Structure 1
């Protein structure tokens, strides 16, 4: 059962802090960015940042939780437009589009996990919950736990390959591998 995540009410100043933090964390990494830089980029004082968020950890939670919420809505929109039986492929299409628009450096959750591996950190739960959601989504769409895991591995590999620029169009390659997996008789929705 998921623990209730503590969230911050977004005032205009909090929104500016979060927007600045998101740009900075994704571009430079969470540990490389301090509250002084976030406050300066947001045009607020450090006191305002701490008054709104309480800690840098909470800024990280809001950054990751907000990105996760946008990602889930993005995927849901792609699934709503997908042809019957093409849900899995729609997820790969959504990932390709998202990565082109918002993910030049790969998956924000994978990147965050590289920096936050302590289960006691409040943002750790956000990262793990997002990946658990993806596994549940693939399992539901494929109709089988083993297929869901295989699809998740294809997807995560594409995310990492994209972020590292290993080869062109990793989402297209993963999508074709998913199509082959599904064509091998795996139930899909």
Structure 2
């Protein structure tokens, strides 16, 4: 077994120490930036040793990847929860818009974690690949919902909703969630309504 495979397997083994490390990294990376936070700070906040960190993660980049994978899982779970409420594509689209608005207000108040990470990792590599995969999934899922709802040009609808979410997450941080959240929801619903006409 290669060192990389062993590190990946170790990273997936859940333990209280691993969860503390991941929570500390998630909070610090999102609130302070990835490159500005060192390993020493993460292990101090998590209350573990460096050896424990390296037992669970393949260095800092492994921790960054786990942080972004957690963000990806969180958004996917929102879609899964919406699908449990209804299988009507029109209802699902409205639930997605409402969920993104709530996310802007309550959770991602300092911008999009994927956009923030992309700004810190401008070159190709595992972090940018994970970000690209996440965005492709998000765009593709919105496209499927738009197509299921019978909207005209579902690719364009999905692209518009992704763009609006990106702008709203950044705008919410700069201009305040109470101003931007409702503007996002109103504009997203306008895009959907326009795609129903004609």
Q: Tell me if both proteins adopt one fold, taking TM over 0.5 as the criterion.
A: yes
Q: 2:50 aligns with which of 28, 46, 53?
A: 46
RMSD: 2.0
Deviations 1:65-107 (A, max 9, x none): 0121022102321343258313222212111222333211121
Any stretches of 5+ residues in structure 2 without a counterpart? 1-7, 148-153
- 1:125 Cα deviation from its structure 2 partner: 1.9
* TM-score normalised to structure 1 length: 0.86
Deviations 1:115-173 (A, max 9, x none): 112211x2222211111111112211112112211222122211111122267432321
Q: 1:31 aligns with which of 31, 35, 53?
A: 35
- 1:177 Cα deviation from its structure 2 partner: 1.7
- Give the equivalent residue in structure 2 for 1:173: 183
Q: 1:127 aligns with which of 125, 128, 131?
A: 131
State which structure, 1 or 2, has the greater radius of gyration over its C-alpha atoms.
2
Partner Cα distance (1:43, 1:71) in 2? 28
Partner Cα distance (1:58, 1:186) in 2? 44
* TM-score normalised to structure 2 length: 0.82
Partner Cα distance (1:110, 1:80) in 2? 29
Q: 1:145 aligns with which of 147, 151, 155?
A: 155
- Give the equivalent residue in structure 2 for 1:20: 24
Q: 1:182 aligns with which of 161, 186, 192?
A: 192
Partner Cα distance (2:16, 2:64) in 1? 18
| 8 Å CA contact 2:34, 2:117 repeated in 1 | yes
Q: 1:117 aligns with which of 119, 122, 129?
A: 122
| 8 Å CA contact 1:79, 1:91 repeated in 2 | no
- 1:14 Cα deviation from its structure 2 partner: 1.4
Q: Greater share of helix residues, 1 or 2?
A: 2
Paired positions, count: 181
